[in-house]
Amino acid sequence: FDKIIAKEIPSTIVYEDDKVLAFKDISPQAPVHVLVIPKFRDGLTQLGKAEQRHGEILGQLLYAARIVAEKEGILDGFRVVINNGPSACQSVYHLHLHVLGGRQMKWPPG
């Protein structure tokens, strides 16, 4: 993800500000599948490593997910997923949120 942030690897950016970057997933699991990441990792390789000092960026990530949902036209129904660790199929160790929508979600998800 660092190379995507640095614009060394191309991506389809949906939203960006000084703290977060949101871009389309290259292997979408729904018609809308956008990843939202912090630009500065600061030890946040996964949610299970979050500390109190990360509270502000965690809130900004969720707010960015809402902005993405609005931009993508799915504000009336979307899902935010965070995979934490190998048992949850986390494959990139840079905290990221999956914003999924554009179809009926199922429950239970796993």
Would you please indicate which residues are annotated as catalytic (active-site) residues?
96
Structure tokens at 76: 């009336």
Which tokens hold the place of 71?
């931009």
Which residues make Cβ contacts (< 8 Å) with residue 43, sequence separation at least 6?
Answer: 49, 51, 54
Nearest to 60 by CA among 22, 26, 5, 88: 22
Count of alpha carbons within 13 Å of 97, Cβ hemisphere only?
Answer: 25
Instruction: Quote the radius of gyration of the chain (alpha carbons, Å).
Output: 13
